[in-house]
Structure 1
């Protein structure tokens, strides 16, 4: 049994557009569908119906979208009332589903992506990271660095002198087996206890990788279209460049 946890609690303060401060980013529409609906359809196409939504900002709007879709089985909702802090705290709020057993998909909600990326994440079992080697350099992308196929870094800023032979952008989707998911829940709990709840959850994932990166398979999704939506130009690119390149989702009916 595979469970998907979708992180959709933040308010997207960097997205300066008409909808900023009005609705969660997972409700942005592309091609007549919200990002949330696309997530649900993509997961169903891969056989995943056990879905947890980690919500916070304007959560009632997301719940209204679920009502509109009439999606069954309805995703479970877990609220982070302190969503203004960081995604580490949001992951901590879903510690129960994270550590409940079985494989777990941990996914950012603000990503428009192709079926091929979902397939790479869902294929087989066990721990998996997605890497896109064709990415724009800069301080914004979360870089995934590999040495002999083993992850050695997961951060926006790579330390000078780090030894690696492959670098790409992390898609922001992770797959964990039962052992790794429970260990991540422990790491996140330690962050919160140490007053580090405001940090991005990738830092906790990084700690998990550095404990034993050899247990993580790497799926190269270079060439498959996707975009994480953080800034206004991302919305434009999503609609004009990414959406026309997406393959149709195989299963359209909920």
Structure 2
């Protein structure tokens, strides 16, 4: 199994002071960066093949990898047009998507409990989505809607006539089987070729779900603490509410 961590963006909505901006994966909570948390939990889960998709200030991320003394090679792929959408970042890691085996595609700016990752990687080869039914309504969360356990929508804005029996927030992590990852890469390439490189990669995932060419299961992670960090108040909430709920990390031996 391979993990692709998307960490290319500018993070403009975080409103970091001028001259002090840095990749969000380097945000620290309890003295540990989000990046180190990702790597420790992936290794503890047995996922040692990690690809980092970088763009903004890649040298600072490389410095963090050296600082933490990470013992395994982490493949780094650069998206020079990181100012565009995450579809383009996913396109830059197309080789990692298509070289075989199950693939995890993970947003870097998420503080989460290891139960989230355990739900994602459990079992044999599978396509899997994560849903949290306890979420705040509004325009910001990416909603995942199911009807008879089948995904029928993955978007921030829902059509008024959409029929579903389950709704929740999509955690920013996806698992794809080998053939599904290849199809996902094809859809992403279509976005780039048609001038839609500025789109979020969730739109390509949505297309994959709605074409019904692949079967997905959904793991319900309601109750497991996590937060995607986009705005300054997310940092405050992560520190105040999420961090105290996290299970202590159990690091795999290095």
TM bucket by the smaller chain?
A: over 0.9
Q: Structure 2: how far apart are the matches of 1:72 and 1:183? A: 33
Distance in 1, matches of 2:137 and 2:230, equals: 16
Between the aligned partners of 1:175 and 1:17, the Cα distance in structure 2 is: 31
1:101-146: CA deviation from partner (whole Å, max 9, x where unpaired): 1000000000000010010001012100000000000000000000
Runs of 4+ in 1 over 4 A off after TM superposition: none
Alignment match, 2:245: 245
**Within 1, Cα distance between the matches of 2:69 and 2:171?**
29
Q: Is the 8 A contact 2:129 2:219 kept in 1?
A: yes
- What is the alpha-carbon distance in structure 1 between the residues aligned to residue 231 and residue 17 of structure 2? 12
Shift of 1:72: 2.2
Deviates more, 1:208-217 or 1:227-236: 208-217
- What's 1:106 paired with? 105
C-alpha distance in 2 between matches for 1:248 and 1:221:
18
TM superposition score normalised by structure 2: 0.97
Q: What is the match of residue 7 of structure 1?
A: 6
How many residues are paired up?
253
What residue is the counterpart of 1:82 in the other structure?
81
In the TM superposition, what is the alpha-carbon distance from 1:12 to its structure 2 partner? 0.2
Query: Which residue pairs with 1:169 in the alignment?
Result: 169
Say whether the 8 Å CA contact 1:13–1:21 is kept in structure 2. Answer: no
Superposition TM-score, scaled by structure 1 size:
0.97
Residue 149 in 1 paired to residue 163 in 2? no
Q: Deviations over 1:62-99 (max 9, x none)?
A: 00001111212121000000000010000000000001
- CA-to-aligned-CA distance 1:175-226 (integer Å, 9 cap, x gap): 0000100000000000000000000000000000111176101000000000
CA RMSD of aligned residues (A): 1.3
Q: Which residue of 1 aligns with 2:31?
A: 32
